[in-house]
């Protein structure tokens, strides 16, 4: 199966003014990574045609890194529309571990895409590592929030985010936002997250307040273990219990799924 449209999905507004989820299902993780990589390149090129630059927010995880690796290996014709020297790269979350720790999302992204494609260092904005001079993750989170604010247009709290990529955990977490009572209440941009239920236990994360300012939010999900979370999120679950249900883009909310992640969805929600 292939997605019905490789570029920007039409904006659809649902209850409360939120964009309706646009679901695209691919057969397996490999086809999923290829489809997202192609669509992402097209979307960044479209943003540059309007703004001159593009802004991309990355996440970690196996399928997220696979997408970046696919972008790096796209045929040259698919790369030419994007000026990679004019792509601002941010992260939605990070593991608060040393900079050379292979668990770091930014290290994985650099190896998979940013270094091979040649994104300039001054366009890449990683969250701080635990050995970068911040004694506490709270201080590192505040610093990154300040950096985001400094890159914003006058009167705005955040820079423009054209596409923000997310994975989804089996329990429904996104970025490093895990289920809990404060998921919807925190209006900070970036927070420290301690005692995470999966290792490493200390992380930095954008909040939903920041994530939901992105023009387009793409949730890329593969694997049968994610099927229950996907179905619950798309059925309107409480975001305090399942944070993925609280994610939406300003113009587009797109769920990219492989067949296993989509297996529990009603047939009508599976858009080939």
> What parts of the chain have a pLDDT lower than 70?
1-17, 78-80, 267-272
H helical segments located in the chain: 29-51, 62-72, 76-79, 105-109, 115-117, 137-150, 208-211, 227-234
Per-residue pLDDT, 140: 98
Per-residue pLDDT, 271: 58
Per-residue pLDDT, 6: 34
Per-residue pLDDT, 269: 62
CA distances from 113 to 58, 105, 219 (A): 11, 12, 19
CA atoms within 13 A on the CB side of 198: 14
Give the start-to-end residue ranges of the domains of the chain: 40-214+225-239+247-256
Rounded to two decimals, what is the model's pTM?
Answer: 0.92
CA atoms within 13 A on the CB side of 204: 27
Per-residue pLDDT, 19: 82
Distance between CA atoms of 234 and 65, rounded to whole angstroms? Answer: 24
Backbone angles phi, psi at 158, to 5 degrees: -135, 155
What is the CATH number assigned to the segment(s) 40-214+225-239+247-256?
Answer: 3.40.50.1360
Q: Which two tokens stand for residue 210?
A: 């920041």
- Taking only the tens place, the pLDDT of each residue in 166-224 is 999 999 999 999 998 877 778 899 999 999 999 999 999 999 999 999 999 999 999 99
């Amino acid at each position: 199966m292939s997605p019905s449209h490789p570029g920007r999905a039409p904006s659809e507004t649902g209850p409360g003014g939120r964009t309706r989820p646009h679901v695209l299902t691919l057969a397996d993780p490999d086809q999923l990574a290829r489809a997202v990589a192609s669509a992402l390149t097209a979307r960044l090129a479209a943003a540059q045609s309007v703004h001159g630059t593009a802004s991309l927010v990355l996440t970690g995880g196996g399928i997220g890194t696979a997408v970046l690796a696919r972008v790096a290996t796209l045929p040259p014709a698919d790369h030419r529309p994007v000026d990679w020297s004019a792509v601002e790269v941010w992260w939605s979350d990070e593991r608060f571990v040393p900079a050379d720790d292979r668990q770091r999302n930014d290290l994985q992204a650099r190896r998979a895409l940013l270094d091979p494609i040649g994104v300039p260092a001054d366009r890449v904005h990683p969250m701080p590592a635990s050995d970068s001079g911040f004694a506490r993750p709270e201080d590192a989170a505040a610093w990154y929030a300040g950096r985001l604010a400094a890159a914003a247009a006058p009167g705005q709290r955040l820079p423009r985010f054209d596409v923000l990529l997310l994975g989804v955990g089996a329990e429904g977490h996104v970025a490093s936002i895990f289920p809990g009572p404060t998921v919807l209440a925190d209006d900070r941009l970036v927070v420290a997250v301690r005692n995470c239920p999966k290792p490493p236990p200390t992380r930095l994360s954008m909040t939903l307040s920041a994530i939901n300012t992105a023009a387009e939010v793409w949730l890329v999900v593969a694997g049968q273990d994610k099927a229950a979370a996907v179905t619950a999120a798309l059925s309107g679950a409480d975001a305090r219990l399942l944070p993925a249900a609280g994610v939406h883009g300003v113009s587009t909310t797109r769920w990219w799924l492989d067949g296993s992640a989509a297996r529990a969805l009603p047939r009508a929600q599976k858009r080939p």
